[in-house]
A and B are shown apart, each in its own frame.
Chain A
């Protein structure tokens, strides 16, 4: 256990030194916090209409102002975090595991079957994800759930590719050893080794994708194929507030900023995670002193 603890403490050390990564982690943590507890913090319900109070600029009672129906934007933004978080996680839960399994399979049975699977993936990847998601969401009836489903259906090819290349490179390594020692339990060994060893890039990608997926769902909602009123999804809020942009800029700005922060946060954190988990960069940090010693 000792070496593992040492590794973990080294990870913390690396994280601490990278201020940008810390910022990303802070944003992500903040987002998850309001996603989970938002509904308890919010001063108003996201539905409460109060026509007396419409179009109020940001103030003490309404931190982010009110929208065209008098609803408190701050509360809506907080609730929106919950919806976005849920949608993002669901979409990735749908696409990542299936994609990874398929990729691992394709990598293991590399050769004819692997090639065929990868060609099919190529075909699916040729279609712009957004377009497909729009079509699917529209066909099923625009709603946040269907938009999430649509993204889930469209996102898996990336994971197949990732796991496939991981499996291939690992297979090269394992092949020689397996041929020498075990021979039997070949398949089981691959599954016990391929997937765990691919974890690092997969987790990195999932982290970064969470932000992107949330952004894409917001985009879908913006176009009208996702969340429908009165759901306080950030993308939806931006499109609803667009008409009043000149008179009530707050309705559009705050939800938009939130989407930006979330995507940025996951992006930064994912980047840092990648440097952390990649054995090459880790070694580089440790061996830095020797690297600079020339002959």
Chain B
């Protein structure tokens, strides 16, 4: 049970999967398009043979497959995804422009999911079988089942259209200067408090929509974990020391119960990404979700490939990090 070796194995595994992801997308990208000219170059290029030759050279489409593969690997590593035949931009530019908005949305949603989920799970565990417990459990189950698209619309209907508490769509209504592209960072840098608060108001409904499904899962996992730990002998032991119940719950039970849910974090993240795609469409959020949807709809082939690879790489890395975090959190696996 050598922990060092296990960590190395796990990291290697992650790298292998990453390689596999890139390779798979490469294979698909070369097999799928019936007409490579149209796929990679777009309608513009169809009539212009000189342009076609130029683009074919740029994408190395005339070379043998394995040479193409090397270029592909290199390009992916450097983030060069080519030019979008629809928007005309370098895809990497489009991606980096859109990325911050999705990142902020995902991070805020993750925070909400974790805090709300864990809190609800702990409460329903220590008040097991009471009214609170049943209410929380039913809510958790219900919220997980709600289809994201409908939930977002419902939120819009109730809280925006009817109650007017939050804005309906978009990331912000106040202008702000782009420095890094992250609204919350840039507005703080420029001291634009107005825009910062406005950004907060705008992110509430979308974040709730994205977290909806995951909160239930985290709450249930936390509850189950807490209940298991509450049955352990060392909890009775802690009580026999005369410790107040809050100390027992938080210092003893929670620290142990919190470890399994960390592993769920990885999967939660993947489902958050999917939730973001739909949510961004509903709330007209200027992020990668809407980018993905419109690229797919317009069959912007290079863009779709790029988003897919990016998403997959993200998932693999996050899973790796959460696995390592789970190992570190438990002193028994942390090792000496």
**B278 in contact (CB, < 8 A):** yes
Number of interface residues of B (CB under 8 A): 41
Please give me the residue from chain B that is nearest to A211 by CB atom. B145
**A93 in contact (CB, < 8 A):** no
Are A267 and B32 in contact, with the CB atoms below 8 A?
Answer: no
The one of B146, B304, B308, B312 in contact with A260, judged by C-beta atoms closer than 8 angstroms, is: B146
Please give me the residue from chain A that is nearest to B148 by CB atom. A219
Are A127 and B17 in contact, with the CB atoms below 8 A?
Answer: no
A237-263 near B? 1/0 per residue, CB < 8 Å: 011001001100100110011011001
Which residues of chain A come closer than 8 Å to B153, judged between CB atoms?
A: 238, 242, 245, 252, 256
Are A123 and B20 in contact, with the CB atoms below 8 A?
Answer: yes
Distance of A193 from chain B, by nearest CB (Å)? 30
A267 to B140, CA, bound (A): 12
A249 to B297, CA, bound (A): 27
Distance of B107 from chain A, by nearest CB (Å)? 17
Are A267 and B145 in contact, with the CB atoms below 8 A?
Answer: yes
Are B315 and A126 in contact, with the CB atoms below 8 A?
Answer: yes
Please give me the residue from chain A that is nearest to B277 by CB atom. A130
Tally the A-B contacts, defined by beta carbons under 8 Å.
Answer: 115
Which residues of chain A come closer than 8 Å to B21, judged between CB atoms?
A: 123, 126-127
A222 to B275, CA, bound (A): 13
A34 to B141, CA, bound (A): 24
Distance of B166 from chain A, by nearest CB (Å)? 16
Which residues of chain A come closer than 8 Å to B161, judged between CB atoms?
A: 245-246
B156-173 near A? 1/0 per residue, CB < 8 Å: 110001000000000000
A116-134 near B? 1/0 per residue, CB < 8 Å: 0001101110111111101
**A15 in contact (CB, < 8 A):** no
> Taking each of A122, A135, A224, which has the highest tally of chain B beta carbons within 10 Å of its own beta carbon?
A135
Distance of A150 from chain B, by nearest CB (Å)? 11
**A268 in contact (CB, < 8 A):** yes
A256 to B21, CA, bound (A): 35
Interface residues on A, range: 35 or more
Please give me the residue from chain B that is nearest to A252 by CB atom. B153
**A218 in contact (CB, < 8 A):** yes
A122 to B293, CA, bound (A): 25
Q: Are A134 and B296 also in contact (CB < 8 A) when A249-B157, A256-B147 are?
A: yes
- Chain A 7-22 residues near chain B, CB threshold 8 A: 20
The one of B24, B146, B296 in contact with A138, judged by C-beta atoms closer than 8 angstroms, is: B296
**B16 in contact (CB, < 8 A):** yes
**A99 in contact (CB, < 8 A):** no
A40 to B144, CA, bound (A): 32
Are A134 and B157 in contact, with the CB atoms below 8 A?
Answer: no
The one of B17, B311, B315 in contact with A119, judged by C-beta atoms closer than 8 angstroms, is: B17
Which residues of chain A come closer than 8 Å to B56, judged between CB atoms?
A: none
Are B147 and A263 in contact, with the CB atoms below 8 A?
Answer: yes
A265 to B304, CA, bound (A): 35
Which residues of chain B come closer than 8 Å to A129, judged between CB atoms?
A: 274
Distance of B87 from chain A, by nearest CB (Å)? 17
Please give me the residue from chain A that is nearest to B33 by CB atom. A139
Please classify the interface of chain A as helix (H, G, I), strand (E, B), loop, or mixed, using the class held by over half of its residues: helix
Distance of A287 from chain B, by nearest CB (Å)? 15
Are B311 and A122 in contact, with the CB atoms below 8 A?
Answer: no
Distance of A237 from chain B, by nearest CB (Å)? 11
The one of B145, B147, B307, B316 in contact with A131, judged by C-beta atoms closer than 8 angstroms, is: B307
Are B17 and A138 in contact, with the CB atoms below 8 A?
Answer: no
Are B278 and A222 in contact, with the CB atoms below 8 A?
Answer: yes
Are B150 and A127 in contact, with the CB atoms below 8 A?
Answer: no
Which residues of chain A come closer than 8 Å to B293, judged between CB atoms?
A: 134, 223
Are A267 and B141 in contact, with the CB atoms below 8 A?
Answer: yes
Are B157 and A238 in contact, with the CB atoms below 8 A?
Answer: no
Please give me the residue from chain B that is nearest to A129 by CB atom. B274
The one of B16, B146, B311 in contact with A128, judged by C-beta atoms closer than 8 angstroms, is: B311
**B61 in contact (CB, < 8 A):** no
Which residues of chain A come closer than 8 Å to B203, judged between CB atoms?
A: none
Q: Are A134 and B16 also in contact (CB < 8 A) when A128-B311, A268-B141 are?
A: no
Are A224 and B297 in contact, with the CB atoms below 8 A?
Answer: yes
Which residues of chain B come closer than 8 Å to A135, judged between CB atoms?
A: 296, 304, 308
- Chain B 267-309 residues near chain A, CB threshold 8 A: 270, 273-274, 277-278, 281, 292-293, 296-297, 299, 304, 307-308
The one of B20, B274, B304, B313 in contact with A130, judged by C-beta atoms closer than 8 angstroms, is: B274
Distance of A223 from chain B, by nearest CB (Å)? 6
**A83 in contact (CB, < 8 A):** no
- Chain A 198-227 residues near chain B, CB threshold 8 A: 211, 215, 218-219, 222-225
Q: Are A256 and B154 also in contact (CB < 8 A) when A126-B17, A131-B277, A135-B296 are?
A: yes
Can you name 30 A-B residue pairings with CB atoms under 8 Å? Answer: A119-B17, A119-B20, A122-B13, A122-B20, A123-B17, A123-B20, A126-B313, A127-B21, A127-B308, A127-B312, A131-B277, A131-B311, A132-B308, A134-B293, A135-B304, A138-B297, A215-B147, A218-B149, A219-B147, A219-B148, A245-B156, A245-B157, A256-B153, A259-B150, A260-B145, A260-B147, A263-B145, A264-B141, A267-B144, A271-B141
Known: A123-B24, A127-B315, A259-B150. 8 other contacts (CB 8 A): A122-B17, A126-B313, A127-B312, A129-B274, A131-B311, A138-B296, A223-B277, A253-B154
